[in-house]
């Protein structure tokens, strides 16, 4: 394999077993992966172990992990509190799955409501994607309208209705004030482009104009309060959006799968003081296990109550109600007791450690900015709480997807590959997440690696 990019030389030398593994994996899985997000060129690093803030690959290389499974592992790898909670649940209950209501469903719901008071009632799902999918169905059922509005650059899961304008080519994206709905996958039905309206993030006037024009079609506006988890909404934008949606009878849905428990334990809605109608949570609250939660106003959530009508699985012959009179939501693994035990352990640890993790994140961000400034490279560490991204740009402020496109992706990619060779793990171009396991030692080593790369490699 000819190497033209010098930043790949050390990467290739250090990871020959990952390369060989991926060649084998391609024989049994398309592209060698079971999720496209795990792939990157020339090949992803294959891991064999994790502990605390560290990952070890199959070549024996050890890394400080800043990907943290795309932010999910806020306690790091193999935290004792999670391991103990899982063991205790299995030993106490004698099973990993009841298939019935159980005590932990209510216990976790009460804890979530403590930090997310907008979630007056909740339902469990098995992923953040499922959570946003249920939120959309709830919005449709409650409003009787069947289109949604999402924002350019925002990701809400891998299903057809929201796979629009997540990362669109600018030549196809349309006007900055009225973006086009650009499909992001093969297999997305063309009619979905008419069902999904794309809005410009952090541009309130333009959003309000679109929403007023189409208020009788749109059931809900869904957004990440921080785009991709790290480009924050401007406070006046989020407050204005809440006011406009209430005025127009459009539900406001916060997708806090990335920001929940990372901007703060109470998520973006606590940070901004804005309460949505519905909220989707995921990632961090699973402690490394698959989970999602949808919650919101009681009158909206009650649309899904099986007590209101018959159900698709109800074999009784009721003459007064039909299955289609109630919103259907089910799942064998919803409210999985082992996962809820892990989630409660996560929250208990964060109640003690959250401030420290946030302070450590700010220390790392400041250190990175200082090192870039010494070399005269304009950079921003964009993000709130325990999640951020390194954006190499001359712009004073990065407010949305189109601002982000003006950054120097090629230099960032080169830096990321050099950092991999120095034992700093992140998928190239991805955001950084910290955990309770990232302390002074890890931050110091990370800044030393940055210093070396910026001084000797760039």
Task: Name the 3-class secondary structure at 300.
Answer: helix
State how far the Cα of 28 lies from the Cα of 243, in Å rounded to an integer: 51
Assess contact for 388 and 365: CB atoms under 8 A. Answer: yes
Assess contact for 448 and 455: CB atoms under 8 A. Answer: no
Active site residue 146: no
Structural tokens at position 90:
């299995």
State the burial class of residue 282 (Cβ atoms within 10 Å of its Cβ: 0-12, 13-18, 19+). buried
Structural tokens at position 37:
């997000």
Residue 455 DSSP class: I
Tokens 């899904």 correspond to what residue? 304
State how far the Cα of 259 lies from the Cα of 269, in Å rounded to an integer: 9
Structural tokens at position 153:
């650059």
What is the pairing mode between strands 174-175 and 178-179?
Answer: antiparallel
Residue 264 has φ and ψ, to the nearest 5°, of 180, 170
Catalytic residue selected from 57, 255, 277, 311: 255
Active site residue 155: yes
Catalytic residue selected from 115, 116, 142, 155: 155
Cis peptide bond N-terminal to 451, omega within 30: no
Active site residue 13: no
Reported as type and span, the H/E element at residue 62 is strand 62-65
DSSP secondary structure string, 205-245? HHHHHHHHHTTTTEEEEEE-SEETTTEEPPHHHHHHHHHHH
End-to-end CA distance of the chain: 23
Active-site positions read: 155, 255, 283
């Amino acid at each position: 394999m000819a190497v033209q990019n010098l930043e790949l030389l050390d990467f290739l030398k250090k990871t020959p077993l990952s390369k060989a593994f991926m060649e084998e994996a391609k024989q049994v899985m398309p592209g060698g992966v079971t999720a496209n997000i795990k792939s990157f060129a020339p090949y992803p690093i294959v891991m064999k172990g994790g502990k605390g803030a560290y990952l070890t690959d199959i070549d024996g290389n050890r890394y400080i992990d800043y990907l943290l499974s795309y932010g999910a592992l806020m306690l790091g790898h193999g935290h004792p509190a999670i391991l103990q909670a899982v063991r205790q649940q299995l030993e106490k209950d004698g099973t990993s799955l009841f298939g019935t209501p159980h005590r932990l469903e209510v216990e976790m719901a009460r804890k979530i409501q403590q930090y997310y008071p907008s979630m007056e009632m909740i339902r469990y799902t098995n992923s953040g994607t499922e959570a946003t999918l249920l939120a959309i169905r709830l919005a449709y059922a409650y409003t009787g309208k069947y289109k949604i509005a999402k924002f350019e650059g925002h990701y809400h899961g891998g299903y057809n209705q929201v796979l629009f304008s997540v990362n669109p080519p600018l030549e196809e994206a349309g006007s900055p004030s009225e973006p086009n709905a650009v499909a992001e996958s093969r297999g997305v039905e063309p009619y979905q482009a008419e069902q999904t309206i794309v809005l410009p993030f952090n541009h309130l006037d333009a959003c309000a104009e679109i929403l007023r024009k189409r208020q009788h079609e749109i059931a809900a506006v869904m957004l990440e309060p921080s785009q991709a988890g790290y480009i924050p909404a401007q406070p006046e934008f989020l407050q204005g959006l809440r006011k406009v949606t209430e005025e127009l009878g459009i539900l406001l849905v916060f997708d806090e799968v990335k920001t929940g428990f990372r901007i703060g334990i109470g998520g973006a809605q606590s940070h901004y003081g804005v309460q949505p109608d519905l909220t989707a949570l995921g990632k961090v609250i699973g402690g490394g296990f698959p989970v999602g939660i949808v919650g919101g106003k009681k009158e909206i959530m009650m649309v899904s109550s099986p007590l209101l009508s018959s159900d698709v699985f109800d074999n009784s012959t009721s003459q007064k109600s039909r299955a289609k009179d109630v919103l259907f939501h089910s799942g064998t693994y919803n409210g999985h007791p082992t996962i809820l035990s892990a989630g409660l352990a996560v929250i208990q640890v964060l109640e003690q450690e959250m401030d420290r993790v946030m302070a450590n994140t700010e220390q790392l961000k400041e250190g990175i900015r200082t090192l870039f400034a010494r070399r005269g490279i304009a950079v921003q560490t964009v993000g709130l709480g325990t999640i951020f991204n390194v954006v190499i740009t001359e712009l004073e402020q990065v407010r949305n997807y189109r601002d982000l496109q003006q950054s120097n992706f090629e230099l960032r990619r080169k830096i990321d590959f050099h950092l991999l060779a120095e034992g700093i793990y992140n998928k190239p171009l991805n955001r950084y997440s910290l955990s309770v396991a990232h302390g002074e030692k890890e931050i110091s080593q990370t800044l030393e690696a940055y210093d070396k790369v910026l001084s000797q490699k760039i």
